[in-house]
Structure 1
C-alpha cells in the first residue's frame, strides 16, 4: 500500500502529471481547503471520466468548484421551500372533507379507487409499508429524546395524524404518496397548483413526475455532491413532464442534460407556490451572474463544455415566462 501523498506531493503531481499549474501559498491553501479528492478529482471532468476538462491552471479548478458551490447554495433554499410547500398542499388536500385526519384513514378513503389495478395496488401497499417502517424507526429513535413527536401519539393509543407522517417523508415518498391518491384527489391538487392539463397529463401524475425528477438534484445539493454537470441525474425526463414544461414555458428541447433544465422545472413550481415571484427571479439572476463569473475565470474551451450554447437562449425565454 502506498504512503499518503503530502500536499506538496499533490501539487507536484498536478504540475507534472496533470499539466495544471499550481504554486504559491494561496493555491496550496485552496488545495487543502477544497481537497484533492473531493476538489480536483471530483471536478476534473464533465459528466464522466472520458470528458476531461482542459485545465491549465489551478485557478480554473477553483472557479468551477466555486461555481458549483454557489449554485448549490442558491438552489438549497428553493428546494427546501418547494418540498415544504408541496407537502403542505398535498397534506391539506388529502384530509379535506374527511372525518379523521390520520394516515390510516386517508389510506382507506383516499387511496381506494381502481382496486383491480394490480400495479397501483402494489404501489399503495409499498407506500404503506414504507410509512409504517419510518414511523417504527422514528419511534425507536425518540426513546431518549425530548422531542417525542411519534411517541406522543402512539403512547396515548392514538393514530398518527397525516401531518406528522409528512414530517418524516422523503421527497421520493411524497411523490409516491401523490401517485397513490385517488384520481379525484390528484386532480384537485393539480387544479390548486394550476397544473391540470388533461390533454397532456391523462393520468394526473405530473406532480409526482416533477418530484421524482428533482429528487436527485435535491439529494445532491443536500449532500454536497457535484451538480454543475448534472451527473446526479438518475432518470430521463418523462414525456408528460417534457411536453407540459415546454408548453407551459414555450422553451423547447428540455432534456435535463444541463442544469438550466432543472432550473426551468423548479421555476415552474416556484411560480405557483411563491406568489411574490421573488424566488424565481432571484434564482435566475444568480444563475446568470454565476455563469458570467465562470466565463471570466476559465478558458473558452472549459466554459463551452460546462455551459451549452443554448443556455443563454433558454434563460431569456425563462425570464419572459416568469414575467408573463
Structure 2
C-alpha cells in the first residue's frame, strides 16, 4: 500500500498520529498554503527533532509559522543593509591601502594574514590554505557568473579587463566575504575595525569584523532561502568570545550567547548604530520585534514560548532600547 498522502489524509494524520486538533475545512486550506513538508515538518520541533513541540491544535502550529515569517520580514532588509555597508567600508580601506582595484595585486599585498604566523607553523598553514582556497572560490564565482551571463562580470571580460575588487564584492557570498576578511593583513583589518567604530579593547587580535560576518552569515542565508529561523537552528558555530564581550560592554546587556534571536537583534542594532542609523529607526526595529513577541506569546502556550525565548528577554529589550536611544 502506498505511503503517499494527499492533503485530506495529511490532515487526518495530524489528528490521529500527532494529536493535533484540526478543522478539516479551514486547516486543510492553511496546510495547503504553508505546505506539509515545509510547514509542519519545519515547525514541529525547537532546534532539533529530539525536542518536539507538543501542539494541541493546528492554530498553534500556524502561529509559529506566521511568527517565523514575520521575523524574516523584519530582519532581512536590515541584514542586507549591513552587508552592503560593511562591504563598502572594507572596500574603502583596501583601496586606500593598496591604491588599486586589481584583485591580483590586492591578493599579493593585502591578503597576507599568513605572514603574521611563523613559517610552516600550524596557523601559517591554516592561513595559507584559507588564502589559496579563497582565490579559487573567487575565480570559481567569476566563471559561474560569466557562464550565467551576469552583465557585471561579462562586461570586464569582454573588454579584456580584469574584474575589479568592487565587482567581485558584488558577486561573492557573505561566507566568502568573511573568508576574504580573514585573509586580510592585521594593519588593514585594524583600519576597517576603527572605521566601523568597533570596540578596540576587544579587538586586539583584529578578528571582530570577521566574527561579525560569520555570526550573521547563517541567519542571512536562512532568511534568503526561507528556512526556519525562530529558534536559531541555523547557527553553525559557537559565537566568538570577543564579539560577545564587545557587545556586552557596549550595550550593557549580559548573557549574550546567540542561542535566541534576541541576541541577533542586539548585534544588528549595535551594527546599525555604528553605521549612524537614526535612533528613532533603531527604536522602531526593537518595538516591532517586541510587538511580534507579544503577539506570539498570546497565541501559543507559555510552555512552548519559554523554550524559544528565555526569562531575560524583556530585560534585554529594555536595555537595548536604552542603548539605541543614546
Structure 2 equivalent of residue 20 of structure 1? 20
Structure 1 equivalent of residue 153 of structure 2? 150
Native 8 Å contact 1:270 1:279 kept in 2: no
Aligned equivalents of 2:271, 2:62: Cα separation in 1: 32
Q: Which deviates the most, 178-187 or 1-10?
A: 1-10
Structure 2 equivalent of residue 244 of structure 1? 246
Structure 1 equivalent of residue 311 of structure 2? 309
Native 8 Å contact 1:193 1:272 kept in 2: yes
Structure 2 equivalent of residue 207 of structure 1? 209
Aligned equivalents of 1:151, 1:32: Cα separation in 2: 42
Aligned equivalents of 1:6, 1:148: Cα separation in 2: 44
Aligned equivalents of 1:314, 1:32: Cα separation in 2: 37
Q: Deviations over 1:29-75 (max 9, x none)?
A: 11111112211121111112222222111111111100000001111
RMSD: 1.7
Q: Deviations over 1:272-313 (max 9, x none)?
A: 124324543232112111111111111222222222111111
Segments of 5+ residues of structure 1 without an aligned counterpart are: none
Alignment of 1:275-290 (within 5 A): 275-290=277-292
Normalising by structure 1, what TM-score?
A: 0.93
Structure 1 equivalent of residue 107 of structure 2? 107
Alignment of 1:1-324 (within 5 A): 2-112=2-112, 115=115, 116=119, 117-142=124-149, 148-197=151-200, 199-324=201-326
Segments of 5+ residues of structure 2 without an aligned counterpart are: none
Secondary structure of the corresponding residue to residue 133 of structure 1 = helix
Structure 1 position 114, deviation (Å): 5.2
Native 8 Å contact 2:178 2:213 kept in 1: yes
Aligned equivalents of 1:196, 1:264: Cα separation in 2: 15
Aligned equivalents of 1:279, 1:154: Cα separation in 2: 42
Aligned equivalents of 1:218, 1:99: Cα separation in 2: 31
Structure 1 position 112, deviation (Å): 3.5
Structure 1 position 155, deviation (Å): 2.6
Q: Could you list the runs of 4 or more consecutive aligned residues of structure 1 that deviate by over 6 angstroms after TM superposition? A: none
Q: Deviations over 1:147-187 (max 9, x none)?
A: 52222222322221111111111111111111211211111
Aligned equivalents of 1:33, 1:247: Cα separation in 2: 44
Total equivalences in the alignment: 319
Secondary structure of the corresponding residue to residue 51 of structure 1 = coil
